[in-house]
Amino acid sequence: MKRYNFNSGPSILPQEVLEQAAAAVHDFNGLGLSLLEIGHRTSWFVEVIEEARALIKEMMGIGDDYEVLYVQGGATTSFMQVPMNLLDTDATAAYVNNGIWGRKAIQEAKYFGNVEVVGSTEDRNNSYIEKKLNVPSGMSYLHFTTNNTVEGTEWFSVPDSNGAPIVADMSSDIFSRPMDFGKYDLIYAGAQKNVGAAGVVIVVVKKDILGKIKRSIPPIMDYREHIKADSLLNTPPVFAIYVSLLTLRWIKKEGGLAEMEKRAIARSSRFYDFLDSTPLYRPLVDKEDRSRMNATFAIDDKAVEDEFLQVCKETGMVGVKGHRSVGGLRVSMYNALPMEDLEALISVMTDFANKKG
């Protein structure tokens, strides 16, 4: 059965990336050894991680005042690693609460210092982006989530931080479009949504924001130690890093971030136009804040919604159920999703709506 992949993460990857990754498990670059069998400090692997770090810098258009790191523990670990490195016990960081991931980041920051919530959309179920933030002066940094994977909202601008360094969780929309990366002081993103396999987090940090707090940091959590070690402080997840390199090469070859954006706009506008013109399906997010990566919607009659999910199962449409915290339905449309796959889903949804209408 052909399956169509609308998973929210881990999620769809380009077919050729999967093929190249599989081949490297058997024989890496004709070495007669698996990628999984070579030391991470060999020139073979160092070339992999160095090419990946350089590609990230190139695609972001950032200079040598930034470092690109690969760290572990998922974006969830970054929720605590960021304040551990940047927030003193007696200081305050500004956080935006636009959804479940931002809330988790807030919880973790409170272990290290004070948190000021400078924008919240809980009043309307996180169905929009609060773009007017009131960031007090003297904040250690402003943290926000560029794309709310679960709720289906996305920022298309960089918020005003009132002079504070800007930290962003870009896990689910990194490399989906050109952004003003140079306006950020720290970016982190788990790889498993747009850049590869689970197990690794990309961190892009402006070096001059580090080393400004009093806390002593365990070396494995200290970004400065990772920088000194060229991101090889300990054994990194070599396979996940290699898959991210293959994905980065694919993005570049396909036309880079501008092309990714073009495709994301084409997919998401097609899908939202369809939802807006089909009364059975109710989009959950304000028009201007709708995510190009994750579209959330609902069918108001729960029994009909369950019936729809059954139809998705029978037609090979995978990952359409909403996150357990929000309910409803969610269709994720990451970089690697072909337009034909989205059209196949729309066709199933059209048939279903006609049957119910």
Using CB positions, name the residue nearest to ligand PLP: 74
- Binding-residue total with ligand PLP (CB under 6 A): 12
Pairing state between β 114-120 and 92-97: parallel
Positions marked catalytic: 101, 169, 193
Task: Pick the binder of ligand PLP from 6, 28, 70, 101 (CB under 6 A).
Answer: 101
Residues in the chain: 357
Q: Toward ligand PLP, which CB reaches closer, 140 or 145?
A: 145
Q: Toward ligand PLP, which CB reaches closer, 146 or 315?
A: 146
Task: Pick the binder of ligand PLP from 35, 56, 59, 75 (CB under 6 A).
Answer: 75
Going by C-alpha positions, the residue among 205, 188, 194, 176 that lies closest to residue 243 is 194
Residues in CB range of 324: below 8 A, 6 or more apart: none
Peptide bond into 165 cis (omega under 30): no
84 binds ligand PLP (CB under 6 A): no
Distinct helix (H) and strand (E) counts, the chain:
9, 14
Q: Toward ligand PLP, which CB reaches closer, 76 or 278?
A: 76
83 binds ligand PLP (CB under 6 A): no
User: Using CA atoms, how far apart are residues 207 and 221, in angstroms rounded to an integer?
Assistant: 15
Pair 283, 297: CB distance under 8 Å: yes
Instruction: Please state the separation of Cα 205 from the chain's center in Å.
Output: 16
Label residues 187-213 b or e (16+ Cβ within 10 Å = b). bbbbbbbbbbbebbbbbbbbeebbeeb
What is the smallest separation between the CB atom of 207 and ligand PLP, expressed in angstroms?
24
Q: Toward ligand PLP, which CB reaches closer, 14 or 152?
A: 152
172 binds ligand PLP (CB under 6 A): yes
Among 169-177, 260-268, 273-281, 334-342, which window interacts with ligand PLP (CB under 6 A)? Answer: 169-177
What is the smallest separation between the CB atom of 84 and ligand PLP, expressed in angstroms?
16
Chain residues in the site for ligand PLP (CB under 6 A)? 9, 74-76, 101, 145, 149, 169, 171-172, 190, 193
